[in-house]
């Protein structure tokens, strides 16, 4: 192959790899997420008119790598009211502010994280009350109507109940800014539910969506679509018939603990592996390799090749190394 052909081939591979990774594949739950975001937007307008609902918070809860952040990013991009715009003074206004909760995250840490994301310095000697007064003022002055907090379970990492209650009170206070209809979105792992369990007032002001693990038979069609869209439509690969069987699809779900986002990542990684080797067909061998590389499991404990795959706990892939010096 000539040098020019090598360059073209490499560019083509990189383009297909990027296309595979950027591909978003809707799940049935996406319809509810889209509708709920639309409800928040409509409630903002209702609040401005004086009759909005008190439910100004959305909690999106699911296991790690279930696709929460990816889904939110995708749907945020589809809502016109969340996009940046230029006001009458020529200033850029960003209605949506998205941050990641720091760890650990006291009530003061949370306020400082918001100010840091806005670009406003906070003095170390500021009291908690002063920090939140500044947060409320800055959110209103900068036109920020939606606050998204990812990894929101970090807000709960306290041993004292009074500190947890302090965080809960601060979250409620953000939904009570004078003449400003701030709506908040919190995404995190199942532990985040404890934030609602411990405060009925906060629960009464919130909407909740759960991203539950996927599996067969109920999610068979969507998992088949993930393989088809990623491998065939995005990467131009052929797919062996074996990858369409219940046995393989169940292995794929089991290997990824039913996490939809992780299933997509696994299929993408397998496709990229085949393309990197200049192959044209996606088969089980690519998944065997990807699973071993990602988990570090013994060959006998590979979910994609073992006859006893259903007895294997992927979380224990490195259990044989425990206690080894």
pLDDT of residue 6: 43
Model pTM score: 0.86
Pair 198, 242 in one domain: no
pLDDT of residue 249: 98
Token digits of residue 228: 């088809």
In 176-242, which residue ranges form alpha helices assigned H by DSSP? 193-197, 200-204, 220-227
Pair 110, 254 in one domain: no
Pair 41, 122 in one domain: yes
pLDDT of residue 178: 81
Whether 19 is in a domain gets the answer: yes
Whether 321 is in a domain gets the answer: no
In this structure, the dihedral spanned by the alpha carbons of residues 198, 203, 207 and 209, taken in order and rounded to 10 degrees, is 20
- Last residue of a domain, which of 194, 211, 228? 211
**E strand or H helix at 122, and its extent?**
none
Q: Which domain holds residue 115?
A: 29-211
Pair 100, 157 in one domain: yes
pLDDT of residue 199: 81
Q: In this structure, is the dihedral angle defined by the CA atoms of residues 169, 174, 179 and 184, taken in order, positive or negative?
A: negative
pLDDT of residue 47: 93
pLDDT of residue 272: 93
Pair 221, 169 in one domain: no
- Last residue of a domain, which of 189, 211, 233? 211
Which of 267, 232, 231 minimizes the C-alpha distance to 249?
267
Domain containing 108 — which CATH number? Answer: 3.40.50.300
Whether 121 is in a domain gets the answer: yes
Whether 140 is in a domain gets the answer: yes
pLDDT of residue 321: 79
Whether 1 is in a domain gets the answer: no
Do residues 170 and 111 make contact, with C-beta atoms less than 8 angstroms apart? yes
Tens of each residue's pLDDT in the chain, 325 residues: 454 444 444 455 565 555 555 678 888 899 999 999 999 999 999 999 988 899 999 999 999 888 999 999 999 999 999 999 998 889 899 999 999 999 878 888 999 999 999 998 888 888 989 999 999 999 999 999 999 999 999 988 766 676 778 888 888 888 888 889 999 999 999 999 988 887 888 889 999 999 999 999 999 999 999 999 999 999 999 999 999 999 999 999 999 999 999 999 999 999 999 999 989 999 999 999 999 999 999 999 999 999 999 999 999 888 877 765 5
Pair 99, 229 in one domain: no
Domain total of the chain: 2
Pair 48, 161 in one domain: yes
Whether 318 is in a domain gets the answer: no
Whether 232 is in a domain gets the answer: yes
Do residues 232 and 243 make contact, with C-beta atoms less than 8 angstroms apart? no
pLDDT of residue 7: 42
Pair 188, 73 in one domain: yes
Pair 141, 270 in one domain: no
Pair 197, 235 in one domain: no
Whether 3 is in a domain gets the answer: no
Do residues 61 and 209 make contact, with C-beta atoms less than 8 angstroms apart? yes
Pair 196, 304 in one domain: no
- Last residue of a domain, which of 211, 233, 256? 211
Pair 156, 64 in one domain: yes
């Amino acid at each position: 192959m000539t040098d020019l052909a090598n360059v073209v081939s490499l560019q083509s591979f990189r383009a297909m790899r990027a296309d595979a990774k950027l591909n978003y594949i809707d799940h049935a739950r996406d319809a509810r997420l889209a509708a709920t975001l639309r409800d928040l937007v409509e409630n903002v307008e209702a609040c401005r008119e004086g009759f909005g609902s008190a439910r100004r918070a959305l909690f999106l809860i699911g296991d790690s790598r279930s696709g929460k952040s990816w889904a939110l990013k995708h749907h945020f991009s589809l809502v016109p009211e969340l996009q940046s715009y230029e006001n009458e003074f020529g200033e850029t206004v960003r209605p949506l502010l998205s941050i990641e909760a720091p760890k650990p995250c006291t009530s003061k840490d949370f306020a400082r994280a918001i100010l840091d994301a806005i670009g406003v310095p906070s003095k170390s000697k500021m009291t908690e009350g002063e920090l939140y007064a500044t947060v409320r003022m800055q959110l209103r002055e900068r036109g920020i109507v939606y606050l998204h907090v990812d990894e929101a379970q970090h807000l709960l990492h306290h041993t004292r109940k009074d500190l947890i209650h302090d965080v809960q009170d601060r979250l409620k206070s953000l939904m009570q800014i004078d003449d400003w209809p701030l709506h908040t979105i919190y995404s995190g792992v199942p532990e985040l539910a404890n934030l609602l369990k411990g405060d009925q007032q906060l629960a009464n002001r919130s909407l909740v969506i759960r991203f539950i693990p996927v599996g067969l038979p109920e999610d068979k069609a969507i998992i088949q679509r993930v393989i088809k869209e990623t491998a065939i439509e995005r990467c131009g690969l052929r797919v062996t018939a074996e990858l369409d069987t219940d046995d393989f699809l169940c292995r794929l779900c089991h290997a990824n603990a039913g996490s939809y986002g992780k299933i997509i990542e696994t299929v993408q990684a397998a496709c990229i592996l085949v393309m990197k080797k200049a192959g044209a067909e996606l088969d089980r061998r690519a998944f065997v390799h990807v699973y071993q590389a990602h988990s570090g499991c013994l060959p006998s404990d590979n979910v994609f090749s073992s006859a006893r795959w259903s007895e294997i706990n992927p979380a224990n892939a490195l259990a044989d190394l425990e206690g080894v010096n």
